[in-house]
Amino acid sequence: MQISASLCFADAFSEGEKLYNENRPVDALMYFQKALEENPENPSAYNLLGLCYYQLADYEAAQQTFLKGSELPSKLKYILYYNAGNAAFAMGDYENAEIYYTASIELNPEFSSAVLNRGNTRLKLSLFKGASEDYKLYLELESDTDQREQIEKLIYEVNQAWYEQEREKINYEMQEELLQLEIQRLLTERETRKLEYELRLKKSQERNKELMKELEKALSEKDEFSPEEDDEIVSAEDDEDQIVPVTVPEGVELENEGLVDEVDADVEGEQTDAVEAEGANLTDGEAADGEDADAEDSVDAEGSVDAGSVADEPVDATATETAGE
């Protein structure tokens, strides 16, 4: 039974290989799948099955098949990584393609096809320096290649692109450095303004404290005055219409309390008499003038009045009241 199974596997794999060589990948596909079902440890079956998927443009299935076969320990491992790189490159997955090509080259550094394809992949990724190195390495491995002239021209163009890339990189780094310096300058300026503001604020607060102390001192000095003294000062200043009492000398009695009213009445009577006198005739006026002249003559005849005679006599309160009446 074991011999029969081996022959069956051999027949499936051989038939699939035959159909693949005849460029019949669809027909070969079934045989390689059957061969892997019978013996999943055959790396050649994984490789040919992956190539069938690749020819049918099913690059995803091809890549998965190559990678699954690369997990097996075999001498075909670098071939499986290389084909996985080709499938990834066909899908535009250049990052993984470079990884798979690199793995293939690490397993077989003399594998020139993987070196050339990795150079093409790096060119797609704009890794110009690495691409130039891979093309130079390929010319070393394949010194008799018919593509030498084309590859040498490609190396020149890649180097020019690399120099331009480096120049732009340097300019970018310089601009980045200048930008960082400008940012640092702005941050320093901002910090300086902040410190200046804090200093001004501190001085303002200290000044406010000093003013508050001066105000409290002024208020405390005002509170030292007695409230009674303040009341006396205010009453003396505001009550301007008050009558200041007259101090009566000792020994003098004021008994003529109604004298002021009586004197006012006499003054009003005299003013009335004067008005009536204005209406008198001229004869009465002349007589009055003659009487006044006689009176003046009598005063002159008697002589001057003694200036001290009135002042030396004591005040007679009774006589004052009589005169008032």
Residue 46: pLDDT band with limits 50, 70, 90: very high
On average, the pLDDT of the chain sits at: 76
CB atoms within 10 A of CB 94: 18
User: Cβ-count burial of 188 within 10 angstroms (0-12 exposed, 13-18 middle, 19+ buried)?
Assistant: exposed
Residue 298's identity, in one-letter code, is S
Query: Average of pLDDT values for 117-139?
Result: 95
Report how many helices (DSSP H) and strands (DSSP E) the chain contains, helices first. Answer: 14, 0
User: For residue 111, is it within any domain?
Assistant: yes
Q: Which domain range does residue 60 map to? A: 2-145
Tell me the per-residue pLDDT of 239-261, one tens digit each, with 9 for 90 and over.
455 544 545 455 544 444 444 45
User: For residue 92, is it within any domain?
Assistant: yes
User: For residue 89, is it within any domain?
Assistant: yes
User: For residue 87, is it within any domain?
Assistant: yes
**pLDDT > 50? residue 303:** no
Number of domains in the chain: 1
Which carries the bigger pLDDT value, residue 73 or residue 320? 73
How far, in Å, CA of 77 to CA of 69, rounded? 8
The pLDDT of residue 59: 96
Q: How far is CA 98 from the centre of its chain?
A: 48
**pLDDT > 80? residue 316:** no
Tell me the per-residue pLDDT of 184-207, one tens digit each, with 9 for 90 and over.
889 998 999 999 999 899 889 888
| DSSP code string of 220-285 | HHHHTS-HHHHHHHHHHHH-TTPPPPPPPPTT-----TTHHHHHHHHHHHHHHHHHHHHTS-HHHH
Residue 227: pLDDT band with limits 50, 70, 90: low
Which carries the bigger pLDDT value, residue 118 or residue 316? 118
User: For residue 27, is it within any domain?
Assistant: yes
Asked whether the beta carbons of 41 and 73 are under 8 A apart, the reply is no
User: For residue 317, is it within any domain?
Assistant: no
User: For residue 225, is it within any domain?
Assistant: no
Query: Average of pLDDT values for 224-234?
Result: 52
Residue 135, domain CATH: 1.25.40.10
The pLDDT of residue 72: 92
Percentage of the chain lying above the pLDDT 70 cut: 65
User: For residue 137, is it within any domain?
Assistant: yes
**pLDDT > 60? residue 262:** no
Query: Average of pLDDT values for 216-236?
Result: 62
The pLDDT of residue 271: 54
Which carries the bigger pLDDT value, residue 67 or residue 316? 67
DSSP label of 163: H
Which carries the bigger pLDDT value, residue 288 or residue 30? 30
Asked whether the beta carbons of 80 and 70 are under 8 A apart, the reply is yes
**pLDDT > 90? residue 270:** no
Residue 117: pLDDT band with limits 50, 70, 90: very high
Q: Which of 21, 50, 18, 15 is nearest to 34 (CA)?
A: 15
Q: Which of 25, 3, 7 is nearest to 16 (CA)?
A: 25
The pLDDT of residue 1: 30
**pLDDT > 50? residue 8:** no
Tell me the per-residue pLDDT of 151-167, one tens digit each, with 9 for 90 and over.
999 999 999 988 888 78
Percentage of the chain lying above the pLDDT 90 cut: 42
How far, in Å, CA of 147 to CA of 164, rounded? 26
Q: What are phi and psi of 109, to 5 degrees?
A: -60, -15
Collapse the DSSP code of 318 into the 3-class scheme (helix H, G, I; strand E, B; otherwise coil) and give the result: helix
